Every structure is written in structure tokens, then in C-alpha cells.
Amino acid sequence: MTALPVSPAPAPSPAGEPLVDVRDLKVHFPIRRGVLIDRIAGYVYAVDGVSLQVRRGETYGLVGESGCGKTTFGRGLLRLVEPTGGSAMFDGTELRSLKGEQLRRMRRRMQMIFQDPLSSLDPRQSIDSILSEGLKAHDLYGSQETAGKKLRETLTAVGLPASALRKYPHEFSGGQRQRIGIARALILQPDLIVADEPVSALDVSVQAQVINLLDDLQVEFGLTYLVIAHDLAVVRHISDRVGVMYLGGLVEEASSDDLYADPLHPYTRALMSAVPVPDPEVEDARQQILLAGDLPSPANPPAGCRFHTRCPWKQETRCDTERPELRELTPGHRVACHWAEDVKAGKIRPHEVSVELVRPSGAGPGDGRVTETVAEVAGTLPPKS
């Protein structure tokens, strides 16, 4: 009752078993129009059929650019937004069937870390009351002394002094605030922590501290992470497996090393070639796959493969008519591309892409088609030394 590192799960499934099992999860936001009476004018297909499993004790990284639906997926999984379809099993329980109090009780076991550490902490609460709030909500507070001890132990675990308890969020630096956010999640001894862009609001030198801290805590407390981020380098560093999202769907999933060594989906290849590496030798030698155009609107996603409008490997058939399913190409490596084998074998070559103009307002693809000489160079990153 006093020591923090207690195995928390009431009925733990063995390591390696899926803790989270999501099937075909959908989150569609209605677009409402109308003055007096709301009329549903369409949907934003923020998450449109994502299936993935997170095994107990592992770190699953979900990567993608803004607007790909990764944040909504994380919130939909925790039911902070309501999914509109599919299933989300957490340790054998269907989260989507839980009601009110049941769901609230379940929240102890699945916690969240937010991107902006300042805005996610109530500015009017001291650190003491921020940390004890979760304990009180789940009747774990006990007496003043035991709770105080727990608070101090948790602060120590995230590398903050006990004197922090009296202070308020605005008195800390960004990195320290993120540590507080982590402590708030950690103190409930959850099984799963969903970390939504946990380091992207932090200074470079502080990012590393937080990444290392997350790593250490995982070992110490046997946590399972779902890390959501746009930074492929960060995700690859901390994750065991990585899923790549594009426009509401998962396009590729593989172990971290596999994904880097052998990216199969054209989008993953382009994404990887675009990540700058802090090394002039690598940068000078790199060949980039520059994607033409912008992300299409999730309110009006392209038919067929969502990526076909920007894909340098797009083929005449199937790509614009048939939405590719995720399929396992090599063990543990799933990809949603009709032509993945041919792309991998080099049978089909990348070509120029005619850009369809994209309206951020979601008015749909424009009529003007202009050929842009952007994606002529292909190839993955040069070999690492």
C-alpha cells in the first residue's frame, strides 16, 4: 500500500499478449450546418477503420502528419471522443460497451499524457491537488500520510523534488511540467499510458530527458505505451512497433527496426526520406522523395487508396478504385498497398505526380490539374555508415 512499484493489474494477462485490441475503429465527426435546426451536411472521417493491437509491456508508436487522425484515434480508444464504429478491447473488456461509472472506474487503468504540459494542468491547482485528484477519484487517497508518501514517491520517480508539491504549474519549466503530467498518470498505477505528442512542445535538450524518463518508467513499472507523435525519429527511438497513419487509416505497421530498414508503403518511404538528420554527410548524400501537393481533406477523402493522389508509384488500375486492406507481407510487417511487392522488388518505378489542388476548407479537389516536377527522384535513404 505504500510502495509504488506494485504490479497493478488485477487480472494481468501475460506479457506479449495483446492488452489493447482495436478492430476497425471509426470516429466520424458530423459537420453541422444550419441556423436554427442543425442539419448534418457531411462527415469528417477522422479515423476511418483502424485495426491494431498493443501487446502488454511494449511501446506502440503511432506516427503520421497533422490531420491523419492519430490524436483522434488515441482519444477514441480511451473514449474521450465517442467512436462511431468498430471495437476497442482493453484487457478483455469491450470499452465501447462500458457505461458511465464503469467507464470512469476503468480509466484508472488507462491514462493519458498530453502534448502541451501547461494547458493540460489546471492553472489554479497546486501540484499537490493535481496529483491527489486521481487518487481521490478512484478512492485510493487513504489517509493524509499514506497519500503524501505516495505523492512524494511518484515525484521522485519522475525526477522532481518533494518541494514541488506546494507550487503551481506556472512556476515550472516546460520539461518539469511534462514530468508533472507524467506523475499524474503514473500515480494511478495504470496498465496503459497513451502519450499524445509527449515531447513535441519541449525544447530539444529537454525532449531527451523526457524520452529517457518514459523509457525508465516503463522498465520500472511494467507500463504499456501507445505513443502518438509526428516525429518519426522520436517514435522510432522509443517504440517497439510502429504504425504509420495517413488520412484516417493505418497504411503500414512493422517493428521499429523493420520499418526503418525496409519501408514498404510509398507514403512511409516519402515520410522517412523527408525527416532531416542532424548530419551533413547524410543530408548531402540523401535522395528525397518529395511528395507533391498537400493532404486531401478528411471530409472528402479520395476514393480507393487514400494516398493515390500524391503517390509517385500510383498505377493505372486499382489504386483509385479499390481501398487496399492491411496485409502481412513478411512476418509482423503489414502494409496497405496493392503494389507493395512490385514497389519493393523495384518492378514499378516512381513517376511524376499531377497535383490535384487541395482545398483546406474541404470543398473537394479542385478542377485545375497542374503537373509539378517534384517527385522525380526516388529511392530510400542512403545506406547508413
Partner 1 sequence: MSTRTRDKIDALAKTSADSGGTSLAVDALKRLSRNPVAITGAVIVTLFLLLAIFAPLIAPKDPYVRYLIDEIRQGTPLGGRPGFPLGTDQEGRDLLSRLIVASRQSLIVGVMATLIGLAVGMVMGTLSGALGGWTDTILMRFTDVLLSIPSLLLAISIAALAAKPGQWTVIVAVSIVSIPIFARLLRGSMLAQRGSDHVLAARALGVKERTIVFRHMLPNSLSPVIVLATLTLATSILEAAALSFLGLGDQDPNRAEWGAMLGEASQRYFDVRPEMALWPGLAIVLVALGFTLLGESLREALDPKNRR
Partner 2 sequence: MALLDVRDLRVVFHRRGTEPFPAVDGVTFSVEPGQTIGLVGESGCGKSVTSLAIMGLLPKRGATVTGQVMFEDTDLLKLSDRQLRDRRGRDIGMIFQDPLSSLNPVIPIGLQVTEVLQRHRGLRGKAAKTEAEGLLKSVGIPDPNRRLGEYPHQLSGGMRQRALIAIALACRPRLLIADEPTTALDVTIQAQILALLRQLVEGTGTALIMITHDLGVVAGLCDQVNVLYAGKVVETADRHRLFGEPRHPYTHGLLGSVPRLDSPRGEPLAAISGSVNDNIPWTSGCAFAPRCSNAIDQCVEQTPALEDDGLRLLRCFNPVAPETAASQEVPA
Instruction: Give the residues lining the site for partner 2 (CB under 8 A).
Output: 65-66, 173-176, 203-209, 211-212, 215, 230-234, 236-238, 256-257, 260, 270-284, 286, 288, 290-291, 293-295, 355, 357-361, 366, 368, 370, 372, 374, 381, 384-385
- The one among 39, 104, 327, 369 contacting partner 1 by CB under 8 A: 104
DSSP code at position 48: E
* Minimum gap (Å) between residue 331 Cβ and partner 2: 19
CB-count burial class (<10 Å; 0-12, 13-18, 19+) for 43: middle
Q: Nearer to partner 2 by C-beta: 147 or 238? A: 238
- Cβ neighbours for 274, distance < 8 A, ≥ 6 positions apart: 288, 289, 290, 291
> By CB under 8 A, is residue 296 in contact with partner 1?
no
140 binds, among partner 1, partner 2, none (CB under 5 to 8 A by kind): none
C-alpha closest to that of 344 among 232, 261, 243? 261
When asked if residue 138 is in the footprint of partner 1 (CB under 8 A), the reply is yes
DSSP for 265-324 reads SHHHHHHHHHS--S-HHHHHH----PPPS-PPPTTSPPSSSTTTTT-TT--SSSTTTSPP
Q: Does 121 bind partner 1 (CB under 8 A)?
A: yes
* Residue from the set 82, 171, 281, 283 that interacts with partner 1 by CB under 8 A: 171
Which of 113, 247, 305 shows the shortest CA–CA distance to 193?
113
Name, in order, each residue with C-beta under 8 angstroms of 321's C-beta and a sequence gap of 6 or more.
303, 304
- Options 170, 219, 361, 368; binder of partner 1; rule CB under 8 A: 170
Residue the block writes with cell 458511465: 100
Distance from C-alpha of 343 to C-alpha of 264, rounded to nearest angstrom: 7
Q: Determine which residue in the list 15, 41, 80, 303 makes contact with partner 1, applying CB under 8 A.
A: 80
Cα-based distances in Å from 350 to 291, 307, 310, 378: 11, 14, 11, 6
Toward partner 2, which CB reaches closer, 112 or 375? Answer: 375
Does position 369 bind partner 1 by CB under 8 A?
Answer: no
Sorted by sequence, the CB contacts under 8 Å of residue 237 that are 6+ apart come out as 211
The yes or no reply on residue 182 touching partner 1 (CB under 8 A) is no
3-state SS, residue 10 = coil
Of 99 and 384, which CB lies nearer to partner 1 in the complex structure?
99
Q: How far is the CB of 187 from partner 1 (least distance, A)?
A: 10
The reply to whether 105 sits near partner 1 by the rule CB under 8 A is yes
DSSP letter (8 states) at residue 214: H
Size of interface with partner 1, in residues (CB under 8 A):
34
Binding partner of residue 275 among partner 2, partner 1, none, CB under 5 to 8 Å per kind? partner 2
Residues that bind partner 1 (CB under 8 A): 78, 80, 104-108, 111-112, 114, 116, 119-126, 133-134, 137-138, 161, 163, 166-168, 170-171, 181, 184-185, 188
